[in-house]
Amino acid sequence: MSAFYDNLAATALRLIKDKGRSLLLARLNKASPNAVTGAPGATTAVQGTIDCIVLPAGTGDTLKLDTRLTEALIRGDLRKLLIAAKSVPFQPQPVDVTEFEDSYWSFVSCSPLNPAGTPLVYTAIL
């Protein structure tokens, strides 16, 4: 059964690459401060490229949001990404960032479509 889902993931990647765009995905990992000296921990960045389709976020895309996010959704300031899982170096999480439309966007949520343990696509709200 896994070969079947691997083929679906490859098909999703091919279709999304054909109709979508590539974006840079970045995650900042902040190390905790040194307990002995109190020196701040080093911050490292992990980056990779994702293939995705960018869509406007709709009101049915989110369940419970705080007031700021609800207002951003109403204004149309949120975006939805359909990301090919085969092109993702790591699963996006809240506070990961990407850049498009000449600005940086932070991930609010990311949900995988993951039948039988094989991720096909991720749906993310920015």
Domain spans in the chain, listed from the N-terminal domain onward? 2-30+42-125
Cα dihedral 27, 67, 58, 16 in deg (nearest 10) = 0
What digits encode the pLDDT tens for the residues 45-92? 889 999 999 988 765 655 455 666 666 666 667 888 999 999 899 889
pLDDT at 101 over 60: yes
pLDDT score of 28: 80
pLDDT at 18 over 70: yes
Contact present, 119 and 43 (Cβ < 8 Å): no
pLDDT at 125 over 80: yes
Nearest to 69 by CA among 50, 90, 51, 94: 94
Q: How far apart are CA 118 and CA 29, in angstroms?
A: 26
Q: How far apart are CA 80 and CA 123, in angstroms?
A: 7
Mean pLDDT of all residues belonging to the chain: 83
pTM of the model: 0.79
